[in-house]
């Protein structure tokens, strides 16, 4: 990494942070003046008045950073991916303002995933999982759409306590930045913008006097961007620096282990109870930490540290063991974490 | 300038000696001979790179050699030229003007496109393609039994190595840019990593991802050439006149372009000293000529900027340290911020709350706490104003105030585990009382948000 690139990374991080900080404050005041607070219901983990303007602030910050980066520097993201992100963000905004039905939201997400496929970045190989490498195009498309829906909704579902979705997103983007820096010079500056914007949002998210939530706009937007980068890693045509260290499928699962594990667990519990897997309730792991008396800050940072530890373990194990053995050991480690902290 | 050079090159070609057959194989010659060119009928031998003479084989070719000589894999081992049958198995020795079979094996047909090399006292064959799968096996020729043995390797072995680019330095065999197909229904895929095999311990190790600038657009079988030159790897692709000179130890490569070298190295070619000995087809006469090309001068003249050959995992580890440090700093900064804002209590008409914890309060308590939401120290007289009632004595008001404050503090402490209001005497006048809000506590009225 050269000095010029480091300076640009810092510049875009600062632009993202300051833009997000300003927009979060501005939108918070705008929402407050119009009494547009997030309703406090029985499932709510907060008692303060809070607005769901964080996602909009993130979205507008991304737009500003991208516009600046595109105009001044060689920053570029595939057009179809951008359209998909915008579409998902607009779906989230509609949900934040009008509370659209889940089925409608689902079909809008499927449409966004189909738009994203046009970018030619999709899961076209299993990279040796179950002995499968390349997969047929129709299967690639179906799996990509399915994974997109899962990731986007998983990030929406974990957005139940202060800072959790944002901190886990920061972790994802910070760790993946090294891979993108090597493989795609056009997207080098995208990640510092995103990380800066999320950091600016976090200062409002943890502030009880000016509390701002990501809302569906933010959660769906972050989920879709994360899904895009996961497809980027799993696309066999891309050079991934971590290949000598860890298998790509294991890497992506470990990068988003908490949203995946929590969503899978919550869905299984609901189905076991004979309820819809999409039912909104308080069976999530982070709710258990809050119910045990932990603060939102404590719960979010604990989950962040645990997820980083799982990722680190995955890297270490991959150096010495086969994929199957790595998965078994990581599974045991997850069970230990569950019994120590969540049970 | 380029056309002029090409003109000179092709003009010079007219006067070169020609080989009649297009099926030939160039071999490094032992001292003092410079090189050999084997054909199906005889061979050419040269004392230098400019002249060569034709000779018939001193003995008839072995019956088992039923393929063109240009399909054989040559290797120089202990100053002798060995030739391997395509797919492995049958091994020949070119010696004293004759090709003799030296193995007791059979055509394996299991390692087409493999790399045949000599290391210390042995001959090895690595990788290849056979029976619908790419292989990463290593076979070693046993000179005593005349058969081939499989060498067991360990570590991060690639799934298959077909048409790879190989380079041996010291005890290490480097390989990259190869194709892999692990089952019948799969397409071959290009492996983008650089691997190294220690030839002493036979342990594989992945080194990193090859620079994406090194990539053939249309890689297919037989389209690349690679040579060892000056302890570096010189390689190129048949569809592109760009050459790469890779220094694997220092993780650097130089790229340069040369049309003449591109043509001269197109067919069978070897490197001897600083010269590349190549076969060139003359576009005017249709004949094939053997020519030499001085590479050293080309490389020294055409020095280009050096780029990294592969992104090593060490660089990624450095980045990971940076990323983890960033995350740690972010958490610390947010924690400091959170500690500062976390003890902010929200006060409305009937309750005081923080996060998910709420405590109901009465009207008097609400008014007292409202005073502390405006300033952190409230004088006794200001609080007393809330308790003074017409028809009641001041003493009654004082007692009621004290009782209310104590009760409020106790109730809040029981819920929030922190003392809210602290009573202190004024430093200037000990008779004057002032009430302070605990430094860790901040009260915000709902209507002030």
Residue pLDDT, tens place only, A254-305: 999 999 999 999 989 988 888 877 777 778 899 888 888 888 899 999 999 9
Residue A48: its chain B contacts at CB < 8 A? Answer: 346, 353, 355
CB contact under 8 A, A296 and B187: no
Within a domain: B201: yes
Within a domain: B326: no
Min Cα separation B273/chain A (Å): 36
Q: Where are the alpha helices (H) located in B42-139, listed in sequence order?
A: none
Q: Are residues B138 and B248 in the same domain?
A: yes
Domain count for chain B: 2
Per-residue CA distances from B79 to B117, B119, B233 (Å) = 13, 13, 21
Domain count for chain A: 1
Within a domain: B22: yes
| pLDDT score of A47 more than 90 | no
Within a domain: B334: no
For residues A229 and A176, is the Cβ–Cβ distance under 8 A? yes
Distance, in Å, from the CA atom of B183 to the CA atom of B180, rounded to the nearest integer, reads: 9
Greater confidence (B86 vs A35) lies with B86
CB contact under 8 A, B335 and A170: no
Q: Are residues B125 and B167 in the same domain?
A: yes
Within a domain: B333: no
Domain that holds residue A162: 3-342
DSSP state of A154: H
Interface mutation vs chain B, best among A244, A245, A282, A288, most B CBs within 10 Å: A244
Nearest to B386 by CA among B376, B371, B375, B372: B371
Per-residue CA distances from B195 to B118, B154, B284 (Å) = 19, 13, 43
In the numeric block, which tokens belong to residue B344? 């902010």
A263-276 CB burial, b ≥16 within 10 A, e <16 = beebbeebeeeeee
Q: Are residues B228 and B274 in the same domain?
A: yes
Distance, in Å, from the CA atom of B317 to the CA atom of A186, rounded to the nearest integer, reads: 22
pLDDT for the residue B285 = 67
Q: Are residues B87 and B129 in the same domain?
A: yes
Min Cα separation A290/chain B (Å): 9
- Supply the CATH number for residue B373's domain: 1.10.10
Greater confidence (A5 vs B113) lies with B113
Phi, psi of B101, deg, nearest 5: -85, 135
Torsion on CA atoms B158, B163, B168, B173, rounded to nearest 10: 10
Whether the upstream peptide bond of residue B32 has omega within 30° of 0, thus cis, is: yes
Question: Considering only alpha carbons, which residue of chain B is nearest residue A43?
Answer: B356
* Mean pLDDT within A160-187: 86
Q: Are residues B371 and B267 in the same domain?
A: no
Per-residue CA distances from B170 to A12, B35, B119, B120, B174 (Å) = 46, 25, 10, 10, 11
Distance, in Å, from the CA atom of B109 to the CA atom of B118, rounded to the nearest integer, reads: 20
What are the per-10-residue average pLDDT scores of chain B (449 residues)? 46 47 72 74 75 83 88 89 93 91 92 92 92 90 93 84 90 90 68 88 83 64 74 80 84 80 69 75 66 75 72 77 91 88 78 75 85 84 84 85 88 83 78 82 70
Residue A49: its chain B contacts at CB < 8 A? Answer: 346, 446, 449
Within a domain: B287: yes
Interface mutation vs chain B, best among A14, A48, A254, A314, most B CBs within 10 Å: A48
Q: Are residues B305 and B360 in the same domain?
A: no
Distance, in Å, from the CA atom of A205 to the CA atom of A217, rounded to the nearest integer, reads: 15
Q: Are residues B202 and B351 in the same domain?
A: no
Q: Which of B156, B331, B344 sits opposite A301 (nearest CB)?
A: B331
Q: What is the mean pLDDT of chain A?
A: 88
Within a domain: B338: no
Nearest to B442 by CA among B354, B383, B320: B354
CB contact under 8 A, A182 and B320: no
pLDDT for the residue A199 = 95
Greater confidence (A338 vs B348) lies with A338
For residues A58 and A96, is the Cβ–Cβ distance under 8 A? no
Domain that holds residue B371: 343-448
CB contact under 8 A, B354 and A208: yes
**Given CB atoms, is A197 within the 8 Å cutoff of chain B?**
no
Q: Are residues B313 and B360 in the same domain?
A: no
CB contact under 8 A, A47 and B353: yes
Q: Are residues B394 and B349 in the same domain?
A: yes
Min Cα separation B309/chain A (Å): 13
Residue listed under structure tokens 């940072």: A301
User: Do strands B307-308 and B252-257 pair parallel, antiparallel, or not at all (unpaired)?
Assistant: antiparallel
Residue B210: its chain A contacts at CB < 8 A? Answer: 239
Min Cα separation B364/chain A (Å): 22
Pick the range with the lowest mean pLDDT from A65-74, A155-164, B61-70, B210-219. Answer: B210-219
Within a domain: B325: no
Interface mutation vs chain B, best among A17, A35, A47, A132, most B CBs within 10 Å: A47
């Amino acid at each position: 990494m050269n000095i010029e690139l480091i300076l640009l990374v810092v510049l875009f991080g600062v632009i993202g942070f300051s833009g997000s900080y300003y927009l979060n404050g501005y939108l918070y005041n705008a929402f407050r003046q119009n009494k547009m607070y997030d309703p406090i219901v029985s499932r709510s983990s907060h008692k303060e008045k809070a607005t769901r303007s964080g996602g909009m602030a993130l979205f507008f910050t991304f737009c500003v950073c991208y516009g600046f980066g595109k105009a001044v520097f060689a920053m570029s993201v595939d057009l179809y991916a951008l359209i998909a992100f915008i579409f998902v963000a607009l779906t989230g905004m509609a949900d934040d303002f009008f509370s659209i039905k889940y089925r409608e939201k689902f079909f809008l997400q499927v449409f966004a995933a189909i738009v994203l496929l046009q970018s030619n970045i999709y899961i076209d190989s299993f990279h040796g999982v179950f002995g499968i490498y390349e997969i047929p195009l129709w299967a690639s498309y179906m799996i990509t759409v399915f994974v997109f829906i899962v990731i986007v909704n998983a990030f929406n579902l974990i957005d139940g306590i202060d800072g959790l979705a944002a901190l886990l997103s920061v972790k994802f983007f910070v760790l993946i930045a090294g891979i993108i820096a090597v493989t795609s010079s056009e997207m080098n500056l995208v990640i510092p913008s995103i990380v800066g914007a999320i950091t600016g949002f976090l200062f409002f998210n943890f502030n009880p006097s000016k509390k701002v939530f990501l809302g569906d706009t933010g959660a769906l937007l972050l989920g879709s961007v994360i899904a895009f980068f996961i497809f980027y890693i799993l696309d066999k045509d891309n050079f991934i620096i971590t290949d000598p260290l860890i298998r790509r499928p294991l890497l992506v699962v470990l990068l988003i282990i908490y949203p995946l594990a929590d969503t899978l667990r919550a869905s299984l519990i609901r189905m076991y109870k004979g309820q819809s897997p999409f039912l909104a309730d308080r069976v999530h792991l982070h709710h258990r930490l809050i119910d045990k008396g932990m603060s939102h800050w404590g719960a979010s940072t604990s989950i962040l540290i645990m997820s980083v530890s799982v990722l680190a373990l995955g890297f270490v194990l991959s150096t010495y063991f086969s994929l199957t053995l790595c998965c078994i050991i990581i599974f045991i480690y997850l069970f230990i974490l569950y019994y120590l902290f969540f049970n | 300038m380029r056309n002029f050079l090409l003109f000179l090159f092709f003009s010079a070609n007219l006067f070169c000696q020609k080989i009649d057959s297009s099926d030939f194989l160039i071999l490094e010659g032992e001292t003092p001979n410079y090189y050999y060119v084997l054909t199906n009928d005889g061979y050419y031998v040269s004392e230098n790179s400019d002249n060569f003479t034709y000779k018939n084989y001193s003995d008839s070719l072995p019956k088992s050699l039923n393929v063109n000589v240009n399909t054989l894999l040559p290797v120089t081992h202990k100053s002798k030229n060995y030739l391997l049958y395509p797919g492995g198995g049958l091994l020949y020795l070119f010696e004293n003007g004759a090709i003799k079979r030296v193995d007791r094996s059979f055509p394996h047909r299991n390692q087409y496109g493999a790399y045949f090399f000599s290391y210390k006292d042995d001959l090895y064959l690595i990788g290849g393609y056979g029976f619908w799968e790419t292989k990463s096996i290593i076979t070693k020729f046993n000179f005593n039994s005349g058969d081939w043995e499989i060498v067991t390797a360990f570590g991060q072995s690639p799934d298959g190595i077909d048409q790879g680019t190989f380079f041996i330095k010291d005890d290490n065999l480097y390989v990259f840019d190869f194709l892999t197909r692990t089952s019948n229904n799969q397409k071959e895929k290009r492996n983008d990593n650089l691997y190294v095999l220690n030839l002493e311990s036979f342990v594989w190790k992945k080194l990193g991802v090859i620079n994406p600038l090194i990539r053939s657009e249309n890689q297919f079988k037989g389209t690349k050439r690679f040579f060892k030159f000056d302890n570096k790897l010189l390689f190129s692709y048949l569809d592109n006149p760009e050459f790469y000179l890779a220094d694997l130890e220092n993780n650097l490569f130089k790229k340069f372009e040369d049309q003449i070298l591109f043509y001269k190295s197109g067919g069978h070619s070897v490197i001897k000293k600083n010269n590349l000995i190549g076969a060139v087809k003359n576009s005017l006469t249709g004949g094939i000529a053997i020519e030499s090309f001085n590479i050293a001068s080309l490389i020294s003249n055409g020095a280009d900027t050096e780029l990294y050959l592969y992104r090593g995992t060490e660089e990624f580890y450095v980045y990971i340290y940076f990323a983890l440090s960033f995350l740690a700093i972010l958490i610390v900064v947010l924690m400091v911020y959170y500690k500062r804002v976390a003890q902010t209590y929200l006060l409305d008409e009937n309750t005081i709350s923080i996060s998910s914890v709420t405590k109901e309060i009465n009207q008097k308590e609400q008014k007292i706490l409202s005073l502390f939401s405006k300033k952190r120290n409230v004088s006794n007289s200001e609080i007393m104003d809330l308790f003074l009632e017409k028809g009641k004595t001041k003493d009654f008001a004082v007692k009621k105030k004290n009782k209310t404050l104590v009760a409020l503090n106790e109730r809040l402490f029981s819920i929030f585990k922190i003392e809210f209001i602290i009573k202190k005497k004024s430093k200037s006048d000990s008779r004057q009382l002032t009430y302070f809000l605990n430094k860790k506590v901040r009260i915000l009225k709902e209507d002030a948000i």
